[in-house]
């Protein structure tokens, strides 16, 4: 894959930071966003990527992010909509405002940012958009109304963008990871060497982007082969 200009949201930790690292190791230019300045500075120092403190749920931050991409890279070839938050609650005890806040990040933030990036991609006649959904968006689960619902939405939105943007040379890919070893929702003690790592998801995404441009992966679920194995 020739040198590309990447914009990665939620790039200061977890899967996002792994994508930043893999993209930089492959020689690509990278701008990434995050909400925690200390983590942003650490990833930027480790990778040489350009970090921005920005929240995808804030329209003005998205406008500033796009401006920074144009300033630092001259545009965007690859947009990775990775930023996401979690919230679990049973029906009868669900905080609807918490669900609205989750959708603001997991759904509307990515839509707003992509809405600003697509005109740039159309003008150059090519581009790649990768949306991070989840296997939680492929099946229902107790307590999953908010989070799983947002990931179902990401999958449906991805399909709409595919139908709309393929004629413009823009590929839209949906990646659905199973459980990944990250500090998700503040939980620790989830490590199991046989479960997926953030690096596994980053490597999968880079592999998909490296396919010939005539090839589109519409959607890919990524599972650990044997997460139940006892070492």
Q: Domain containing 109 — which CATH number?
A: 3.40.50.720
Residue 103 belongs to a domain? yes
Q: Tell me if 231 is assigned to some domain.
A: no
Question: At 134, is the secondary structure helix, strand, or coil?
Answer: coil
- Write the pLDDT tens digit of every residue in 42-62: 999 999 999 999 999 999 999
Predicted local distance difference test score (pLDDT) of residue 181? 78
Hunting for tokens 């939620």 — which residue is that? Answer: 10
- Is 56 among the domain residues? yes
pLDDT score of 75: 98
Spell out, as residue ranges, where the chain has pLDDT lower than 70.
182-191, 230-231
Assess if residue 114 is contained within a domain.
Answer: yes
Residue 26 lies in a domain: yes
Please list the active-site residues.
Answer: 147
Structural domain that includes position 59: 5-222
- Match 């490296």 to its residue by tokens: 210
Report yes or no on 229 lying in a domain.
Answer: no
Closest by CA position to 230, among listed 194, 190, 200: 194
CB 82 within 8 A of CB 76: no
């Amino acid at each position: 894959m020739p040198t590309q200009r990447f914009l990665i949201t939620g790039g200061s930790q977890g899967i996002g930071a792994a994508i930043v690292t893999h993209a930089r190791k492959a020689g690509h230019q990278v701008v990434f966003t995050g909400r925690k300045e200390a983590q942003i500075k650490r990833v930027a120092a480790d990778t040489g990527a350009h970090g921005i403190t920005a929240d995808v749920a804030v329209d003005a931050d998205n406008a500033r992010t796009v401006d920074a991409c144009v300033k630092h890279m001259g545009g965007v070839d690859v947009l990775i909509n990775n930023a996401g938050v979690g919230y679990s609650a049973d029906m009868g005890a669900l905080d609807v405002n918490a669900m609205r806040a989750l959708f603001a990040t997991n759904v509307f933030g990515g839509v707003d940012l992509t809405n600003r990036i697509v005109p740039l991609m159309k003008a150059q006649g090519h581009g790649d958009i990768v949306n991070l959904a989840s296997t939680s968006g492929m099946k229902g689960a107790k307590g999953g109304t908010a989070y799983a619902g947002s990931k179902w939405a990401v999958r449906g939105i991805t399909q709409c963008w595919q139908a709309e943007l393929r004629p413009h040379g823009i590929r839209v890919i949906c990646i659905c990871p199973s459980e990944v070893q990250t500090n998700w929702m503040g939980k620790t003690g989830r490590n199991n060497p046989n479960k997926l790592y953030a690096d596994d998801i980053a490597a999968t995404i880079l592999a998909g982007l490296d396919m010939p441009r005539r090839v589109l992966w519409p959607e890919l679920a990524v599972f650990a082969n044997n997460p139940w194995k006892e070492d």
